[in-house]
Amino acid sequence: MNTNMLRLSDNLVRLRHEKGVTQEEVADFIGVTKASVSKWEKGQSLPDILLLPQLAAYFDVTLDDLMGYSPWLSVEQIRKIYVDLSADFAALPFEEVYGKCQMLVKKYYSCYPFLLQMGLLCFNHYMLAKPERQTDILKDIEALCSRIEQNSREPGLCNEALIVKMMIWLILGRYADAVDTLKPMINRYNLYSEAQRLLIQAYYMKGDVHQAELSTQVAMYSHLLDLAANGTTFLAFYMDDLEKGTEIIRRTNTVISEFDLKTLNLNSVLQFDYQCIIFYCAHQKLPEAMALVEAFVSGSLTIANKGAFLHGDDFFNHLEEWFEEFDLGTNPPRDTKFVQDSALQALENPALSPLFELKEFKRQKERLERKKG
């Protein structure tokens, strides 16, 4: 561990003052010179490793307290580190920031909530690495997820780590392994949803109406986001079927509109809109495609200007309580600059080539480019 990450020198000064002793008294007890203690306190040198237990015993603290090291981070600390590193990924070379992440992972290797967030952070940005590095990075993240699964005692954390690992397996082409792992977890009787409904009823029947309403809102909101994501996937299956694809778009947009998902979770809507753009381009429906390109660019600029913070609305008026329980709170998983750069890159997808020469399409790209500049 890098010694500049520890606070031994500051702690020695603080502990000595709290105990009311001089450097000479510390030196006599440990069996070194007063000059040695002075150098330790100034950070000019470090005690021999064999002296650390004796120092800790003298001040009646643990070795971790003496060194200023904590293997566990608070939720607030995790959020701050994530947000800072997310901004770094948007502004600095990938390998430089990835090195910071690896250093922090080693320092807090037993803080499993932090390991999960570092895995998610790197997974959300691994595509910024050089192509020849991306597989190794994904395998590093996979190893983190496996460590969480094997050592954490929190089922929810283990499940989240498993999902990230399954996404990595799909990218790495381990499709059969993913099927074998996930299939036993999907009960055809949907017992999870049934348990969720029973929990809501139990809250209500014991008189905890607020918790019953919160749990209901969380369930509805989660299923709505699942529907938008599944609509995106379903449409991808029918790219060659104009009639079926159009019906998928109609039905998904009906739900998006009725529940105002564009306001609630703009990012999920933009992902669906983008898949619709590709679908319309494949069928040469350029006016429909261009209308969504404008919406996609406007939405991306909204996120770039305001961020994609999680929030509820007048209907889902208790969701903030749920969001605050997340390790990242209401913070977005990616920096706004990264989102903007990704949107610009998305418009360069060859699948959108029927639009490339249209003046309106070029104007929409310029809107993103001006913001970037």
The predicted pLDDT at position 61 comes to: 87
Share of the chain above pLDDT 90, in %: 69
pLDDT band of 131, cuts 50, 70, 90: very high
pLDDT digits (tens, 9 = 90+) for 247-289: 999 999 999 999 999 999 999 999 999 999 999 999 999 999 9
Question: Mean pLDDT over all residues of the chain?
Answer: 90
Q: Label residue 331 by pLDDT band (50, 70, 90).
A: confident
Q: State the pLDDT at residue 232.
A: 96
Read off the pLDDT of residues 156-171 as tens digits, 9 standing for 90 and up.
899 999 999 999 999 9
Q: Which of 43-57, 112-126, 289-303, 334-348 has the lowest mean pLDDT?
A: 334-348
Residue 338 above 90 pLDDT?
Answer: no
Domain covering 3-67: architecture: Orthogonal Bundle (1.10)
Six token digits for residue 253: 């947009």
Topology, domain 75-185: 1.25.40
Cβ(88)–Cβ(97) below 8 Å: yes
The confidence band for 189, taking pLDDT boundaries of 50, 70 and 90, is low
Residue 3 above 60 pLDDT? Answer: no
**Confidence band of 188 (pLDDT split at 50, 70, 90):** low
For residue 190, the model assigns a pLDDT of 57
Domain boundaries, the chain: 3-67, 75-185, 191-372
